[in-house]
Chains A and B, each alone.
Chain A
Amino acid sequence: MNMKLFFNHMMRRRLLIWIITLLLIAGFAGAAGVILWSVRMVVAYRAEIEPQESEEQQGSWTALIPATDFQLIREGEPVTITLSDGTKSEGIIASVTTGTKDIKLEITGVEDQAESAEAVVTLRAKRLIAAFLR
């Protein structure tokens, strides 16, 4: 066997292996990044819910939840409101207003509630990556 040819062949193969590995790393990092960034977990927040008073906004509620890292709340997604007496109501997030400390949610389609109340608001709100960064 020609030793020079063998070594040249192996040198070319070294480069190929480096390229394959880097492509593989980039591919995985991309795919895993997409999952970790876009998949969100269900989070329960303790919040004060208030009925909207104007006529156009009848059946709408507002909830103020704390703003934290890796939070992403999308309009149109379902939300569960659990009152202190255990009553559960389903609603839809109509709008999200992000403040420096709090996020104001406008929730529609919730059963009528005469007064403001303490409740636990459960919604898909946190990116998966946050689970790995306690």
Chain B
Amino acid sequence: MKINSSIGPRKLIFFPGEKILNQFRIFNRYLIPYWSLEALVLLIVLITTILGLLGPALAGITIDRAFLKHDLYLFRMLLLLSLLLAVFTGALAIIRNYLTAYIGRMLTFDLRRDYTRHLFRLSFTDFHRRPTGEQLYRLDSDLSTAAGLASESIPRILVTTSHFIFLAGICLYLEWKLTLVAILITPLFYLHSRYFGRRQKDITRSFKEASQDSNTMIQDALANIKLIKAFGRDRWAVRTYLHHRLRIIRFGLHRVRVSITGNLSAGLLNSIVLLGFTYYLGARVIAGSLSLGELVALTIYLTQLFVAIKGMGGLYRDVMVKLVSWDRVRETLGLAVREEKPGAVSLTDLRGIISCRSLSFSYSPGRTTLNGINLQIYPGQFVGLVGPSGSGKTTLLMLLLRLIEPDRGEIIIDGHNLEEIRWSSLQPFLGIALQEAFLLNLSIAENLRFGRTEATEEEIREALEIADMTETVREMDNGADSMVGESGSRLSEGQQQRLNIARAVIGRPRILILDEATSAVGFDSEARILNRIRSRLPETTIISATHRIDTLKEADRILVLNEGDLVETGTYRELSKSNGFFHSLCRDQLK
């Protein structure tokens, strides 16, 4: 196991806002591929910021030099310059917006790519720690919002900060005393934003949790629509879902209230300060120490300066809200992923000799699911796994599939510890059919190729034949190109399971794992399938966990599990005669 190192160790905080800056550092590696475009955005931001500052100066010049001196020619030229400025900055804004959108989307794509890779590399246990609805919400909503930190917030920080610096510079040049007062007032705006930012962050966290609960609930309900209809709980599903939505509305409205209060109070603070400044400047015009044009220009510059200060406050609040999503994304990125061990062996061929040595596993401390299992399976053997529910059959298969890791002991395949085999080299030799078919909303052929992408038409035909599906597929309108529907909804459960078996046997695997894979298939069909698997795939090692003990009459060996212990082993005939636990299982099934 290796911990993903995208999140570095905690660092000491030296100045306010450094914590937020540290959060941004992680985006460096996502921003670097687009550095040339970011440089262009930066250039455009700088140019448009500087040109934007010409507006008030132009207004002042127009008043003092054109209006007061009755210079129509100059007035026309100034208008022409303004038009030119508007067209140019407009064109640059189009390019900047396009580039920002492009970088934003690509950056989100890159982050989503890494997040998805990480998510799929999580251990089975870690993956299932969160419901699918929550995983989806994090992958979709949280990730987009978190990526917005880099794609939207960083450009906004650049624009607002450069605007503020240039404006402060101009204002200091034109009227340094007043500007100094304005800059000294800035911490007041910072404290205001900090207070409202934190409040918004808390509410956003609750809002997101409510949204994710709602998603999880409705996703669960829709996925289990048969159950809901069978139990007549459709009204309950609607009511529960609406209850979740109302909770979201409540948090949403709370968020809006805080946002409105924050904006209003910031606006009021802004207006009071600006009114004071306007009074001072107006008095200077009346006294004759300032021209009318200078008053206009200064008032516009100071207003813009306060808009920039207010904008920085808004930006702070926005970043705080986005950090909620980023924290949630980081939670997943911080989970350990399963890595191949260094020096893992790549298999080029597999005989199929499987040994388990003192294999133990427990899902929770103190409750052992498998207890020191020792067994040996030889190539081409048909091995049955039987036992009551909860005896550990499926857990043993999950360990073989490396979905979970043993607490103690080891699994040896062809002389190599399973943990030391490169999974990508072992996987092509495995065929897996679980009780739930897990069919994708694709055609029959595409579902089969999911098991082996390079499967030929001949291999598909053979797999369908082994799984007793040839006739069923022939009767369909489009044959193997017929769509199976969502989760195979256009097929019966028996057909789904047979298709599942066909997918497992395609490409002649060396080890075939069946976990109640024929539970919904008719007895005749089941017998035909098992016979065909054994006759067509003589070298394949078959491990079949089942409750239908009769299907194991032809098995080379049956392993009987009870409460995590391997209690008996032998052929059907041997075990039936022994009058042991297997015998009692058979008897119970006959009752």
Contact = CB atoms under 8 A, between A and B. Distances in A.
Interface of A: 10, 14, 17-18, 20-21, 24-25, 28, 31-32, 35-36, 39, 41-42, 128, 131-132
Interface string B28-46: 0000000011001001100
Contacts of A14: 36-37
Interface in B88-134: 88, 91-92, 95, 98-99, 102, 106
Contact of B81 (A20, A35, A41, A42): A35
Shortest beta-carbon contacts, A-B, top 3: A28-B88, A39-B77, A131-B61
Contacts of A31: 84
Given A24-B91, A42-B71, A18 B40 contact: yes
A128 B36 contact: no
A41 B57 CA distance: 15
B74 A39 contact: yes
A41 B64 CA distance: 11
B455 interface: no
Nearest to A40: B74
Contacts of B47: 25
Contact of A32 (B57, B69, B84, B102): B84
Contact of B77 (A18, A25, A128): A128
A24 B44 CA distance: 11
Given A39-B74, A132-B54, 14 more contacts: A14-B36, A17-B40, A18-B36, A20-B95, A21-B95, A24-B88, A24-B92, A39-B77, A41-B71, A42-B69, A42-B71, A128-B61, A128-B74, A128-B78
Given A20-B95, A132-B57, A41 B88 contact: no
A10 B80 CA distance: 36
A25 B36 CA distance: 17
Q: Describe A's contact surface by its main secondary structure.
A: helix
Contacts of B80: 35
B74 A21 contact: no
B53 to A, nearest CB: 10
B84 A28 contact: yes
B338 interface: no
B317 to A, nearest CB: 32
Nearest to B95: A21
Q: Describe B's contact surface by its main secondary structure.
A: helix
Nearest to A122: B69
A39 B61 CA distance: 13
Nearest to A128: B77
A42 B74 contact: yes
15 contacts: A14-B36, A14-B37, A17-B99, A18-B40, A21-B92, A24-B92, A25-B47, A28-B84, A32-B84, A35-B80, A41-B71, A41-B74, A42-B65, A42-B69, A128-B74
Interface string B361-384: 000000000000000000000000
A95 B95 CA distance: 49
A55 B96 CA distance: 67
Interface string B55-86: 00100010001000101001001101100110
Interface of B: 36-37, 40, 43-44, 47, 54, 57, 61, 65, 69, 71, 74, 77-78, 80-81, 84-85, 88, 91-92, 95, 98-99, 102, 106
A18 B44 CA distance: 11
Contact of B95 (A17, A35, A39, A42): A17
Nearest to A24: B91
Contacts of B65: 41-42, 131
A42 B85 CA distance: 23
Nearest to B173: A134
B156 to A, nearest CB: 20
Contacts of B57: 131-132
A82 B247 CA distance: 79
Nearest to A131: B61
Nearest to A126: B65
A10 B472 CA distance: 47
Contacts of B40: 17-18, 21
Contacts of A41: 65, 69, 71, 74
A128 B81 CA distance: 11
B85 to A, nearest CB: 8
A21 B61 CA distance: 29
A67 B47 CA distance: 33
Contacts of A24: 88, 91-92, 95
Given A39-B74, A41-B74, A21 B84 contact: no
B539 to A, nearest CB: 39
A128 B78 CA distance: 9
Contacts of B84: 28, 31-32, 35
Contacts of B88: 24, 28, 32
A132 B91 CA distance: 24
Nearest to A41: B65
Nearest to A18: B40
A43 to B, nearest CB: 9
Contacts of A17: 37, 40, 95, 98-99
Contacts of A132: 54, 57, 61
B36 A35 contact: no
Contacts of A42: 65, 69, 71, 74
A31 B95 CA distance: 20
Contacts of B102: 10
A3 to B, nearest CB: 10
A35 B84 CA distance: 10
A39 B92 CA distance: 25
Contacts of B71: 41-42
Contacts of B91: 24
A39 B80 CA distance: 11
A132 B81 CA distance: 13
